[in-house]
Amino acid sequence: MAHLALYYLCSPELLDLESINDYLYFCKNQHNTPSDSFFKHTIYGLRTAYKVCGLTEKTINLPQIEGQKDLPVVLNKTEVRALLKAPKYLKHRLMLGMLYGCGLRNYELCALRLQDIDFERKTVLIKHKKGKHDRVVPLSDLLQSGLKSYISSEKPEHFLFNSQILKNGKKQGMTTNGVGWVVKENRTKVNTHKKITAHILRHTYATHLLDEGVNIMRIKELLGHVRVETTLIYLHISNFKHHPAFSPLDTLYNSDEKA
């Protein structure tokens, strides 16, 4: 608050919203640290001061501070291959394959119905509840072949992956706990220190697509994200094939200079 008063040489409670926003813009550019701590504390201080002064309309118009987001854990291709090979049963291999190969959320895998799989068009329709948008994702040839064998032998009804059979004989769809159990049972067979979950396979799907040069807006559609800002996080962990990142150590000794 003192800094704001010195900046304008007047009491902060006398400033209009435009002046306050100009000051915040100045702070954001002057103190652009990784955590933006100076900017955040400025916002918190202004909120407290305006609340004490009863100037609630100014508090409402202050920008919101988003929490710092950690980058998602992503598996490399060797780890994915090991995980997909780990299950004993074809059904479990296909469940893991659908999570990674189609970028599905846990509950989306559980809700998949037989009619959502189009083998001729090689697509998977992912239905959403009221108010959400459906989306269509490509179905790989490997998954298509495995699903045909699985459907022929297991004969699932209605849902693509059935769980327990109810007392009335009706088959029930796979539960999210069931999917979690499959992941947990097989992740110990992968030589990695990463904690593998169903959602990490979705992160891996998005990152590997970006690695292969798929457009970020296309990946947004495939993941079913509402806001592209959610998808942009994968830019921080991807190795673009067209513009690959590298360590400076790789080129440190390529020059004529001696180490």
Is 225 a known active-site residue? yes
Q: Which of 50, 100, 205, 234 is catalytic?
A: 234
pLDDT above 90 covers a percentage of the chain that reads 47
State yes or no: is 234 an active-site residue. Answer: yes
State the maximum Cα–Cα separation within the chain, in Å, rounded to a whole number. 79
101 pLDDT above the threshold of 70: yes
Catalytic residue chosen out of the listed positions 69, 88, 129, 130: 130
- Catalytic status, residue 100: no
pLDDT tens digits for range 203-221: 999 999 999 888 999 999 9
- Choosing from 202, 203, 208, 220, the catalytic residue is 202
Give me 84's structure tokens: 């997909």
What mean pLDDT do residues 23-35 have? Answer: 59
**Active-site residue identified among 28, 105, 113, 135:** 105
Model pTM greater than 0.85?
A: no
Query: Does position 252 have pLDDT exceeding 80, yes or no?
Result: no
Which CATH architecture is the domain 77-236 placed in?
Orthogonal Bundle (1.10)
Q: Kindly indicate the confidence band of residue 41, based on its pLDDT and cuts at 50, 70 and 90.
A: low
Question: What mean pLDDT value characterizes the chain?
Answer: 81
- State the pLDDT confidence band at 40, using cuts at 50, 70 and 90: low
Annotated active-site residue 202? The verdict is: yes
pLDDT at position 164 over 80 = no
